[in-house]
Amino acid sequence: MEFKEIISVPGMGGLYKVVANNRNGFIVESLADGKRTLINSNQRIMTLVDIAVYTADGEVPLRDIFKKIQEKEGGKLGVDLKGDQTKLRDYFKKLVPEFDEEKVYTSDIKKMLTWYDVLNGKIDFTKEEKVEDEATEKSILEKENDKPVVKTHHEAHGPKTEGAKRATAKTRKKV
């Protein structure tokens, strides 16, 4: 399992892995209990790769925060998630000192730390995943487009020259 495969579905607690997709949506598997669920294609989903934390300079990806926790704490969280909110904020301040305290709520911090707790041991955050760059993608597309197009000529489907009806423009009277 890779970090880019993990999604969060607003309105449904927990994290999910996309197993398959069909015409109606996605089939996802819960990481907590392994149950599979169908998610409608109109429902909003968020991949964890796309989530970032606001900082004074810009944004820090969630993966980098998980790396910091793994490096500093050795895989175990150093704070009680159900404890005092100020302790949660102080703990997060040690991990990401430059985070924007006005935009990042305590509920967001709690959610991120809960996600880390679920993913800890299942995913190695220090391992870099392969990212396809645009040059590789373009070369693949160019190879596909370089294939010769075979043109077939069928006499039965050609333009008709004799006996073709001509459409006449009819005007409608205004009433």
Of the ranges 35-44, 115-124, 145-154, which one carries the lowest mean pLDDT score?
145-154
Residue 14: CATH number of its domain: 2.30.30.730
Predicted local confidence at residue 141, as pLDDT: 42
- Domain of 20 in residue numbering reads as 3-48
User: Is 156 domain-assigned?
Assistant: no
User: Is 29 domain-assigned?
Assistant: yes
In this structure, the answer to whether residues 28 and 74 fall within a common structural domain is no
- CA 170, distance to chain mean position in Å, is 54
Q: Are 5 and 17 in contact (CB under 8 A)?
A: yes
Count of domains observed in the chain: 2
Name which of 31, 32, 39, 34 is nearest 9 in CA terms.
39
> What is this structure's pTM?
0.68
Q: Is 116 exposed, middle or buried (0-12, 13-18, 19+ CB in 10 A)?
A: buried
Please provide the distance, in angstroms rounded to a whole number, between the alpha carbons at the two ends of the chain.
70
In this structure, the answer to whether residues 21 and 70 fall within a common structural domain is no
- CA–CA separation, 101 and 118 (whole Å): 25
Q: Token digits for 4?
A: 């880019």
- CA–CA separation, 148 and 5 (whole Å): 36
What tens digit of pLDDT does each residue of 89-137 get?
998 898 888 999 899 999 999 999 999 888 888 887 776 655 444 443 4
